[in-house]
Chain A
Amino acid sequence: MTPTNTSLSRREFTRRAALGTAATSTMLFSLPDLAAAGPTTLPTQLPSDASKLSPQSQAEAEARYQSILAQYPDRFSEAQKADLKRLCFALQPQLDRLRAWPVANSDQPALYLKPLVEREKKSNAAANLKSAPTPAKSSAPEKP
């Protein structure tokens, strides 16, 4: 096997994998690659699906880009600016997907391992129930 062959086969694989994905989701091995959320693009181009974004989403992505330039006006080369713009647009579908997921006001943010805590609460509650003294029988009618 030559590196060239490997590279070609990966590209082919990637192309086919991308075709099988309606909503593009990405992974860059050690980290999710938010920046590369779109299909293959040259760094200086906007993601090809940028035009699929709603006008509001496009405006938000553009505002994000402008905000970076305003905050750091002299920091980037022209090539980096183009790349930044691409990254700002590539992030947008991820945000849109996240926002579209139904979340209720009562859904608490999970910072750590909520299930472990809840499992413990359940087992403690069960233990307390077992060890609690049996209440004296009341003559009052039971509530429905």
Chain B
Amino acid sequence: MVSSDILYLSASELGKRIQSKALSPVELTKAYLDRSEKFGPKFNAFARLTPEVALEQATAAEKEIGRGHYRGPLHGIPYAAKDLLATKGIPTTWGAKPYENQLFDYDATVVENLRRAGAVLLGKASMIELAGGMNYRFASASLQGAAKNPWNTSCWTCGSSSGSGAIVAAGLAAFAIGTETWGSIVCPSAYCGISGLRPTFGRVSRHGAMALSYSMDKIGPMARSAEDCAHIFAVIAGHDIKDQSTLPLDKAAFTYSPSAELSAKPLRVGWLSNAWKQIDPHAEKAIQAAERTVRKMFPGTRNAALPEGPFEAAGGIIISVEGAAAFRELIRSGKIAQLADPLGQINGYVSEQIEAADYVRALQVRGILQQKMETLFDGFDVLVAAAQPLGANALDANLETDLIFPDPLGGIGNLCGLPALSTPCGFTDQNLPVGLQFVAKAGNDLAVIRAARTFQQHTDWHRKHPKIS
């Protein structure tokens, strides 16, 4: 019998037990499956469970480890993949009605890499339809319905990796894979009180992943600690000949050993003064305390400011145009009307109308911005700010009208393909998780991992989990 305390251990801790044969991958998988069957529907967390695949992979892992062949820290560890990653013979719905019976005859490279590392596919995580690519007004914009936050089921998990957030927070799997075009890893990680890494653009292959924005989509881990994110990232990162946008071999690959951090140079940290116009009063205390902790941990922390310009507009236009191109047939055929969300049903038509010259101008602005951020990072290794300026919003909120605020850091970070890691840093006075995000220059994913690891070594917010019954 595997207790729920075990199910909330980090993948790194589970891995140690599995390696020492103190924990059976098969028993662990069965326990996660039982828990997921019981609680998954409560949170609308899964698009589907894959018990046959999971038990087959867990049994293979157990036999292999029994023979003395231990593949690494993910061997025998159950995880969930966002339902936009192709899985051979298992429906991949992209969270949307028009694709509810979609089948691929191959695995996404990320899924293949995880299988090679011995990880166990427990199921496909629910998500916002088309990862929000046609936009959405309500949290219910999903084939599985609104994902409910395990900390308070009357609140949302954020999107679009909504199921991935719920699964990790509720202890339904050891980790999950999410994707981000703008906010879809960072925000659900913050809302759900977990650690989420948005890697540098091009470090993780997108072969077999639904395309929304060809120049901005990223795939990354959502887990219980920054260390877990690092181990998962080391498995999924790397050049892929099947994805031309992946970086060259030497720039895409990532190797990680916690001990390597000991000899690393101290990080130069900048606290961003203009990441948010305002912090929600309910979250203010937690963010202020987190800032004090950061300044104490990194004594040289200085204030920093993001450059100002039409960067959110540029990011938005790029996503809208690329999204309209990616789903052109869906829009033109009229099947877009099958989407669940009223905004999603029509917004693609507006995106189609954006002129090519405006798209190119947005790309030019991105080039200028990338240089500005390179210059800013001459003085800093990581920039820090609240991951979101508030805790999770109500499940029935109208996102168009109730949650409008500028997000320059999200815009700039995603437009420039910068790595970011969101770590839990406290709670609102309504007991909802609050996140802190570390952002670094393109290619320096290790810096955000180091910074978040340091934060987590000095705090225990990442070890908190909701009571599920």
B313 touches A35 (CB 8 A): no
The answer to whether A31 touches B280, judged by C-beta atoms less than 8 angstroms apart, is no
Given contacts A35-B350, A115-B374, contact A14 B135 (CB under 8 A): no
Stretch of A50-58, A86-94, A126-134, A136-144 lying at the B interface: A86-94
Nearest-neighbour CB distance to chain B for A25, whole angstroms, equals 4
Most chain-B Cβ atoms within 10 A of its Cβ — which of A26, A36, A115?
Answer: A115
Closest Cβ of chain A: how far from B165's Cβ, in Å? 11
Contact of B404 among A7, A39, A94 (CB under 8 A): A39
Q: Mark B1-30, 1 if CB is under 8 A from A, else 0.
A: 000000000000000000000000000000
B316 within 8 A of A: yes
The segment from B36-44, B47-55, B387-395 found at the interface with A is: B387-395
By the criterion CB–CB under 8 Å, are B366 and A110 in contact? yes
Cβ–Cβ contact B154 & A3, under 8 A: yes
Count contacts on B: residues with CB < 8 A to the other chain.
Answer: 93
Chain B: CB-nearest residue to A6: B394
Distance of B331 from chain A, by nearest CB (Å) = 9
Interface residues in A104-121 (C-beta closer than 8 Å to B)? 107-116, 119
Interface readout for A12-34 with B: 1 if CB under 8 Å, 0 if not? Answer: 01101110110011111111111
Chain A nearest Cβ from B186, distance in angstroms: 9
B245-A91 in contact (CB<8A): no
Name A3's contact: one of B282, B396, B416 (CB within 8 Å).
B396
Whole-angstrom CA separation of A28 from B402 in the bound complex:
10
Contact B367 A25 (CB under 8 A): no
Which residues from B are CB-within-8-Å of A41?
A: 401
Contact (Cβ within 8 A) B411 A27: yes
Q: Does A9 contact B (CB under 8 A)?
A: yes
- Interface presence of B136 (CB below 8 A): yes
- In the complex, are the beta carbons of B393 and A6 less than 8 A apart? yes
Query: How many Å from the CB of B329 to the closest CB on chain A?
Result: 14
Cα separation A81 to B396 with both chains bound (whole Å): 24
The answer for the CA separation of A3 and B155 in the assembled complex, in Å, is 7
Asked if B327 CB lies within 8 Å of chain A CBs, one says no
- The smallest C-beta distance from B244 to any residue of chain A, in angstroms, reads 10
B278 at interface, CB cutoff 8 A: yes
Q: A17–B159 contact, CB under 8 A? A: no
Evaluate contact between B215 and A32: CB separation under 8 angstroms: no
In the complex formed, the residue of A with least CB distance to B282 is: A9
Residues of the B chain whose Cβ atoms lie less than 8 Å from the Cβ of A76 = 346
Complex Cα spacing A94 to B351, Å: 12
**CB-based contact B128/A10 at 8 Å:** no
Q: Are A84 and B346 in contact (CB-based, < 8 A)? A: yes
Q: What 1/0 mask marks residues of chain B from 341 to 368 whose CB sits below 8 Å from any chain A CB? A: 0110111011111100010111111111
Minimum distance in angstroms from A40 CB to a CB of chain B: 4
Q: How far is the CB of A130 from chain B (nearest CB, A)?
A: 20
Q: Is the CB of A1 within 8 A of B431?
A: yes
Q: How far is the CA of A87 from the CA of B357 in the complex (A)?
A: 20
- CB-contact partner of A98 in B361, B394, B410, B430, under 8 A: B361
Q: Looking at B245, B312, B365, B404, which has the most chain A CB atoms within 10 Å of its CB?
A: B404
Q: Which residues of chain A have C-beta atoms less than 8 A from B247's C-beta?
A: 113, 116
Q: Is B261 interfacial (CB 8 A cutoff)?
A: no
Residues in chain B near residue A103, CB distance under 8 A: 361, 364-365, 368
Provide the residues of chain B in CB contact with A64, threshold 8 Å: 350, 353
Asked if B350 and A91 sit within 8 Å, CB to CB, the answer is yes
Q: Which residues from B are CB-within-8-Å of A109?
A: 360, 363-364, 366-367
Which listed residue (B187, B363, B396) contacts A7, Cβ 8 A?
Answer: B396
Closest 8 CB pairs of A and B: A109-B363, A32-B316, A110-B367, A27-B407, A1-B430, A30-B132, A3-B154, A30-B160
Q: Can you list 14 residue pairs at the A/B interface with Cβ under 8 Å?
A: A3-B155, A5-B430, A6-B155, A9-B281, A10-B402, A14-B403, A17-B404, A25-B312, A30-B160, A32-B312, A33-B404, A109-B366, A115-B373, A116-B442
| Apart from the given pairs A33-B135, A33-B316, A108-B367, 18 other A-B contacts in the complex at a CB distance below 8 Å | A7-B397, A10-B403, A21-B405, A25-B312, A30-B183, A33-B399, A36-B400, A43-B342, A75-B337, A76-B346, A87-B347, A87-B350, A101-B310, A107-B367, A110-B364, A110-B366, A113-B200, A116-B247
